[in-house]
Amino acid sequence: MTESDGPSAPLSKTQFVYEWLKEEILSGSLTPGSRIRQQDVARTLGVSYTPVREAIRQLQATGLITYEPNRGNAVNSLGDDALRELYLLRGVVEGLGARLAAEKMTDAVLSELRSIHEQMLAVLDEGADASALAALSRNFHSLIVKAGGPHIVHPKTQEIWTHYPVPRSQSLWGVPGEARRSVDAHARILDALQARDALSAGSLMEEHIADGVRFRLGGDS
C-alpha cells in the first residue's frame, strides 16, 4: 500500500478511506488477491478502525473486495472462467443497448458520439494517455447504452462496470496497438449507429467487448 498525506477534501473519514482503497485497487497498487488488513489501512491513513471497517464493507458491496473465511478481506480476483462469463454478460447487455440505440438514434446523440471519437483519435495522436482514453471510452459506451435502454439496460451496465472495474494494470488502453484497434472498433460501431443498422451495431459491440477479454486473457478466447 502506498502512503497518503491524508484527506485534502471535506470527505467523511469513511468516504476518504473508501476512495483511497478504491484508487489503490484500480491503480494496481493492491493487486487481485492481495489481503487487506484493517490495522494496516488504519495506520497508513491515520484513522481508527471504524471508518476502515465501514469502507471495506461498502467495497464488498461493490464486488471490489471479498471476504474469505480463515483469510479475511482481499481484493477480488476473477479467474479465467469468471472473466469470460463477465465479458459475455457485458456483450449481451451492451450489445442489446447498441441495437436499441440504433433503432432510436438521434442526430444529437450521434454528434456527441462523433465528438468523443474525435477526442480519442486526438489523444492517440498525442501519445495515447491511457487514463484519458479509458474515460472517453466509458463515456462512449455509456452514451450508446443510455440512448438505447435508459430505464433498465443502462443501469445494468453501470452496475456491471461498478462491480467489476478493469484494473489499470490490465487495461488495453495502455497498449498503443490495442488502443488503436479499440478506437477503430468504435468507428465501426458509430457507422452502424449512423446507418440505423441495429443488427450490425449489436454484433459489432459484442465483438468489441470480446476483444477485451481476449486481451485480458493474454490472447486466449
The pLDDT assigned to 32 comes to: 82
Do 96 and 205 share a structural domain? yes
By the 8 A CB rule, do 34 and 2 touch? no
Of residues 190, 97, 194, 182, the one with CA closest to residue 147:
97
Residue with grid cell 482481499, as numbered in its chain: 74
Domain that holds residue 121: 80-216
* Measured distance CA(134)–CA(108) in Å, rounded: 23
- Return the CATH number at 23: 1.10.10.10
| Contact by Cβ (8 Å): 59, 145 | no
Helix (H, G, I), strand (E, B) or coil at 65: strand
Do residues 139 and 44 both lie within one domain?
Answer: no
pLDDT in tens, 107-151: 999 999 999 999 999 999 998 788 899 999 999 999 999 999 999
Contact 173, 134 (CB under 8 A): yes
Assigned domain for 144 exists: yes
18 with 86, same domain: the answer is no
Residue 143 sits at φ, ψ, to 5 deg, of -65, -40
Q: Are residues 71 and 96 in the same domain?
A: no
For residue 7, the model assigns a pLDDT of 44
pTM: 0.78
Question: What is the CATH number for 108?
Answer: 1.20.120.530
Here the cell at position 14 is: 469513511
Average pLDDT over every residue of 85-105:
96
Q: What is the mean pLDDT of the chain?
A: 90
Which has more pLDDT, 127 or 50? 50
- Amino acid 10: pLDDT: 55
Q: In this structure, is residue 65 part of a structural domain? A: yes
Beta strands 72-75; 65-68: pairing state = antiparallel
Q: Are residues 65 and 93 in the same domain?
A: no
| Confidence grade of residue 101 (pLDDT, cut at 50, 70, 90) | very high
| 1 is a domain residue | no
Q: Quick one: 181 and 146 in the same domain? A: yes
Same domain, residue pair 95 and 186:
yes
Q: Where are the extended beta strands (E) located within the chain?
A: 65-68, 72-75
Q: Answer yes or no: is pLDDT of 43 > 70.
A: yes
pLDDT digits (tens, 9 = 90+) for 199-217: 999 999 999 999 999 998 8
At residue 193, the pLDDT reads 98
- Please state, in angstroms and rounded to a whole number, the distance separating the CA atoms of residues 117 and 193: 13
